[in-house]
Amino acid sequence: MTESSQIPQSTRSEPIFGRLLTAMVTPFAANGEVDEQKTAALAEELADRGHDGLIVCGTTGEYSTMTDDENERVFRIVKEAVGERVKIVAGVGSNDTAHTLDLAARAESVGVDGLLVVTPYYNKPTQAGVQAHFTTVADAVKTPVMLYDIPGRAGIPISVDTYRALAEHENIVAVKDAKADFASASAVMAATDLQYYSGDDGLTLPWMALGAVGLVGVTTHVAPEKFRELIDAVVAEDLATAQRVHQELIPVIAATMTRVPGCVAAKQILSWQGRLDSAFVRLPHVAPTAEEEKLIRADLKNSVVADTLIR
């Protein structure tokens, strides 16, 4: 059996943003302001614990409830803290193309390595509008762009034909897929050089089996070493290890992704782990209820790596 028949080319190729990325929470102090010291410290810790890159001010980073100045400041804090060690991808998406262009320019001035641009949400444009939005942003910058396909939030998917057209743009290089349409994604991967990242923590193994290069995760805050082990096992073609770690992570993923929104759960667990001073989230997010906290703790205790997760 030849090497090319063993594992998809996109998985074997060295990905532009690395393989293990976290969509990083933005630490807030108890008064709701950005905690700049904790932001830098969390970025440093994630870099220390096996990350290749960080998504800064994405959905989990609560960018939509932050001012543009706050977003730019967080881009800069994280870039200065770990930009020499890991790739920094700035979330600059909006449903307003002009606003996205402004955020992209701010991020590019900081010197980030990539721009995460989500499908325009709420407006529900046609596919021609989606293509025009992404192309306009990519035309305006020199920084590589990662498309973010999440119809559950945006209301619309990116179609296969739109992907094929966008892949022709030299600045559009990657996709964070939270759609889980494996057939469509396979068609795109077969026809283009776009590098796919799983946008669903629990589907990392099947995504990479299809040819995705890695993961942009949230649960990766909580158990980064286990996700590193999973991804490395897939790249090494060690299916048995990858399956074992995938199963070990199921209750951890449930704790982080199914009880309350990801940013809420991740901050709560990080505070239990002693890694954040405050689990504060901005409205309209709220802290978990007592019952939700019990469910999250129960999930974590069901994990075979429970002793490493919370104190």
DSSP 64-108: GGS-HHHHHHHHHHHHHHHTTTSEEEEE---SSHHHHHHHHHHHH
Q: Give the length of the chain.
A: 311
Q: Which of 63, 79, 87, 148 is catalytic?
A: 148
The torsion angle over the Cα atoms of residues 156, 161, 163 and 166, rounded to 10 degrees, is: -110
Q: Which of 38, 176, 179, 267 is catalytic?
A: 176
Gyration radius of the chain's alpha carbons: 18
The torsion angle over the Cα atoms of residues 210, 20, 49 and 231, rounded to 10 degrees, is: 10
Helices (H) and strands (E) in the chain, counts: 14, 8
Q: Check if the beta carbon of residue 223 is closer than 8 Å to that of residue 308.
A: yes
176 is catalytic: yes
> Backbone phi, then psi, for 291, in 5-degree steps?
-65, -40
Report the C-alpha gap between 24 and 26 in whole angstroms: 6
Strands 20-23 and 195-198: unpaired
* Identity of residue 179: K
148 is catalytic: yes
Please identify every residue annotated as catalytic: 148, 176
